[in-house]
Structure formats: structure tokens, C-alpha cells
Structure 1
Amino acid sequence: MKIEAPSLAALPGIRHAFFTRRGGVSQGIYASLNGGTGSADDPAAVAQNRARMAAALGVAPEGFLACWQVHSADAVVATVPWTRADAPKADAVVTRTPGIAAAVSIADCGPILLADAGARVVAAAHSGWKGALGGIVAATVARMEAQGARRGDIRAVIGPLIRQHSYEVGEDFVARFLAEDKAFARFFAPADRSHHALFDLPGFIRLRLEQAGIGHVEDLGLDTYADEERFFSFRRTTHRKEADYGRLMAAIALA
């Protein structure tokens, strides 16, 4: 049902999980632990799945909080529960409130869980290429720092996401990155098709974390596209022309 990162599991007072697609009640293409409230899955099934995830982290279902994700560079602080209807439009949740699990949903984009155990500040960030390029990592770290965290004490983990050998992109995509910094060329490898490249999203996220002053970064090395048994994947679904796809969840909370 869940994967834990050694670097976070070693921290006192912190609970976290990168949830797989196993251990839920959803059926069909959503089987089985679909956490996507934005999917066309049965809302009751999604609610039950999320309740199971919340229980795994020791929080009530209403304390399992994710934003309305919009591929932005916006991070918010959670102090009280919100509903899906009034969820903020942002891509990271920061909290220092026990009983709240900061959560993100993903289906190829990068989930990042962060914690300063000493300051008791945790965060979950959703980082696709737009967020990574636009500054979601820096925004999340700044929000954590405003809540009392110290950049040098924050540990960050990059969870399951689409890996470079699965992530083919076109010339326009590459141009967006090179327009910001020619050195970003190192995150692209040749693809089999001409005028295409393979993008290293986790490598780029790691760079952003290092640029934000995070010295403790762990990458779980897991590929959502290649591992169908454990993970949902938006790109895999697109290639198969399936009607919809499930969403994975990653979350972190104070014990």
C-alpha cells in the first residue's frame, strides 16, 4: 500500500508515505487505491481510499489535505482542514499542525516530501515540469522557513514519478528550459525519434532542491510509467488511449 523513504523514516515524530495503487477499493482502470478526486471514479470509493491513507498516517480523513493542483509555484500553509470545494489552488501544502497530513496527488509528476523534524515543519509538493521550472520547490522551502524550519535541516525525498527513459519530449519543450539557462541541456538525452529528447525530471527537481539550500535529498528511483503494477501513469494511459487514470498520493504528517 505504501512506500517509505529511509531518510524520513529515521526522523522522530514524522509519519509519511508514498502510496502505491494497491490496497484500495476502486475498480477497473482505477484499481485499486485511487486517491484522485478529480478522476471520474466513484467518489465514494475515492473517499474510502483516502480514509485508508489518512489512517495509515494516524490522522482523521478530514485532516488528509491536498490542494486543487494547477501546476503553479504556489505553496500554502494548512492549519485547519478544508473541503474539496474550498481547497486552495496551489501545488504544495506546508503544516506544523498535528492532525493534518500535507498531501499531493500525482500520476507522473514528481511528489516531494520535506521535513524539518527539529522545527516540526513538514510539507508535500507536486512538481511536474511546469512547477519545477516555475519555482514550486523554492516557494515550498520559503513557506517552511516562514513556519520556523531551517533550510539546512530540511530533508527532502523525491518519490515515484516518470523517469528519463520514459519521458520523451519535443523541441519546444527543450527550448523552454534552455531559454532560462543553457546549462539545463544536461537534463536532456537523445531520443530515438528525431527532434525529440528524453527529459530527466527527477534530476531537475534535485537541482531545484539544491538551489533552495536543501542538502539532504533522497531519490527513491521509482518510475510511474514503467511500473504498472504499483503506479498509475497519465502518460501510459494517454499512449493507450484509455478514458481516464487513477492518481497516486503522497503525504506527510507530524506524529
Structure 2
Amino acid sequence: MAHWHWQSWQGQNFLTCDLLQDWPHGFFTRQFWPQTPEALTPGLDAAAAVQRVKQVHGNRVLAPVDLPAPGSAQPLAEADGLLSDRPGQALWVCSADCSPVLMGDRATGQVAAIHAGWRGTAQAIAAVAVGKLQAQGSRLEDLVVAIGPAIAGEVYQVSVDVAAAVGRTLVAEASEDDGAVVAALQQRPSPVLTDDTPGRARLDVRLANRWQLERLGLRREQVAIAPHCTFQDDRFFSYRRTGEKQVQWSGIVSRRAATP
């Protein structure tokens, strides 16, 4: 089982995961607000080049070569994931209740960072990121993934159609009827949980992303989920809890390929 650890920088705490110990990385708390990735990157690697996008709740994953040049007056590219294409790149995503997902390839040293809300998860953004890593030479057995603090399933109430949209990515064949999809998943341990309100369900987006990764072929021990719920832990911003549009950042820095 992967372990999670609190680290300190500037007198404030951020979270790290053993699975990603080969890379400078961190899931930052609300204490660092309103610092930007440019201000936070020195806490991981002062020499790293900052890479970020404008998040739009989709499944587009870009490499730095696809982004405007540093210092450009062009607006940020719209995407919800980033993929490194060389060492020394600091990839950043922001979240409140959505799942920040950081990935690393132990062999190539390359990394990915994605923002996986329910919409991105319904569009299998984690699988898209893995596919792009594979296109760069990654093997599934070399990947490790840490899913950071996000809203827990037991407190995340959604409509049945939302639960079904995510649920369809978790099974080989699914009914076209939303209620049937949700009911089937609720009959066994799954990321789709029951809710007392008619037309509603509870959804664990963190677990849904792990299920998607396992369906691709990653082993359970290659994926870790942080034991912190943004809604229940006030060290983190939660849009569901406060209604305020504030975010915490999560970042990881690519490194050189492992030597034989």
C-alpha cells in the first residue's frame, strides 16, 4: 500500500505520495492560495519550466510543444491534462472537489498531470493520458499514479444521468437506460453508491479513475488514492462546501530516463 506524507515549504504543508517519490511533486493545500504555479514550482524544483493550461472539464491532454511559448501574449491552451516531453518540466493542474491525478513513468522519467472531474472522468481522461504516454514509449507496467485529495463518494451526490455517464466507462457493456446502469453498479462494490433521494446517486470519482486505469491493465498497487476528502477536510478548498471558486494546485516535475 502506498503511503502519503505531509511536507513543509514556506511554513505551509503539502502532500506527497510514495508512488511518486522518484519525482518532485506535491498536492498543495488551500494554505498556498492565491499563489500560482509560477510561485509554487520553486517548492518542487526551482529550475523547472512551468506548464499549465486553461481547464475546461474535458479530456484533452496536451504536451508543452502544443502550448504557447513561455512569455507569449497568447491565451492559455484549453485542456484538462498535460504530458511532459522532456526532463525538467513542471506540470500543474488545479482543483477544488475534482480529482487531481499525477502520473509518472519509472523507466522514461516522463510525467502527466490531469484534472479529472466527473465530466473528464466520463470521457476517460486518465485513459487518454496513459495512451499518450504509451505513444511516447511508456509501458503500462512502468506507470505509477497518485490521485490527490478530492471529494469522497459518500458525500458527493449527483444525478442518475451523471452517475450513469461515468458508470458506462467502468463496464464492458452497459444499458442505454441510465437507471439500469446505475442500479447494476450499485448492486456490487463500485464507485457508484446508493442515495436516499429519488433520481440521485453518490459517485466516487477518485475510485472511478482507478477502475478505469485498472481496466487498461494497471495493477492495484500502481494506483494510490489520497486519504483526504476536500469536502470534509477544511485544509482544502471545496466548491461543494463553500460555493466559492477557489482552487488548490497539484504539480509534478519530469526527470531524465532511468539508467540501465
The TM-score, its normalising length taken from structure 1, stands at 0.79
1:59 and 1:99 in contact (8 A); partners too: no
1:120 and 1:149 in contact (8 A); partners too: no
Q: CA deviation at 1:85?
A: 4.2
Aligned equivalent of 1:223: 229
Q: Which runs of 5+ in 1 are unaligned?
A: 25-32, 35-45, 239-243
Give the CA RMSD over aligned residues.
2.2
Residue type at the aligned position of 2:14: K
Aligned equivalent of 2:24: 15
Q: Against the structure 1 CA distance between its residues 184 and 68, is the aligned structure 2 distance closer, same or farther, given a 3 Å change threshold? A: farther
> How far does the alpha carbon of each residue in 1:158-181 deviate from its partner, in whole angstroms, 9 at most, with x for none?
110010121011233234345663
Tell me how many residue pairs correspond in the alignment. Answer: 223
1:51 and 1:60 in contact (8 A); partners too: no
Worse-matched range after superposition: 71-80 or 183-192: 183-192
> How far does the alpha carbon of each residue in 1:30-80 deviate from its partner, in whole angstroms, 9 at most, with x for none?
xxx23xxxxxxxxxxx4xx4333111111458x222211111111111257
Q: CA deviation at 1:84?
A: 8.2
Worse-matched range after superposition: 168-177 or 206-215: 168-177
> How far does the alpha carbon of each residue in 1:213-238 deviate from its partner, in whole angstroms, 9 at most, with x for none?
3221111121011111x100111123
2:114 and 2:125 in contact (8 A); partners too: yes
CA distance in 2, matches of 1:51, 1:156: 24
Q: 1:136 aligns with which of 118, 122, 125?
A: 125
Aligned equivalent of 2:258: none
1:197 aligns with 2:205: no
CA distance in 1, matches of 2:103, 2:25: 10
Q: 1:68 aligns with which of 54, 60, 64?
A: 54
Worse-matched range after superposition: 105-114 or 174-183: 174-183
CA distance in 2, matches of 1:50, 1:84: 18
Q: Which runs of 5+ in 2 are unaligned?
A: 1-12, 175-180, 256-260
Segments of 4+ moved more than 6 angstroms: none
Residue type at the aligned position of 1:231: F
1:129 and 1:201 in contact (8 A); partners too: yes
Residue type at the aligned position of 1:8: L
Counterpart mapping for 1:146-185 below 5 A = 146-177=135-166, 181=174, 182=181, 184-185=185-186
Q: Against the structure 1 CA distance between its residues 147 and 179, is the aligned structure 2 distance closer, same or farther, given a 3 Å change threshold? A: closer
Residue type at the aligned position of 1:72: G
Residue type at the aligned position of 1:6: D
CA distance in 2, matches of 1:16, 1:121: 13
Q: Against the structure 1 CA distance between its residues 120 and 233, is the aligned structure 2 distance closer, same or farther, given a 3 Å change threshold? A: same
CA distance in 1, matches of 2:253, 2:81: 14
Q: Against the structure 1 CA distance between its residues 105 and 177, is the aligned structure 2 distance closer, same or farther, given a 3 Å change threshold? A: closer
Give the 3-state SS of the residue equivalent to 1:160 in structure 2: coil
CA distance in 2, matches of 1:164, 1:209: 18
> How far does the alpha carbon of each residue in 1:7-30 deviate from its partner, in whole angstroms, 9 at most, with x for none?
111x2xx111011112x3xxxxxx
1:121 and 1:147 in contact (8 A); partners too: no
Aligned equivalent of 2:18: 6
CA distance in 2, matches of 1:203, 1:111: 12
Q: Against the structure 1 CA distance between its residues 103 and 50, is the aligned structure 2 distance closer, same or farther, given a 3 Å change threshold? A: closer
Residue type at the aligned position of 2:202: L
Determine what percentage of the aligned residue pairs are the same residue.
29
2:14 and 2:29 in contact (8 A); partners too: yes
1:213 aligns with 2:225: no
Worse-matched range after superposition: 182-191 or 153-162: 182-191
The TM-score, its normalising length taken from structure 2, stands at 0.78
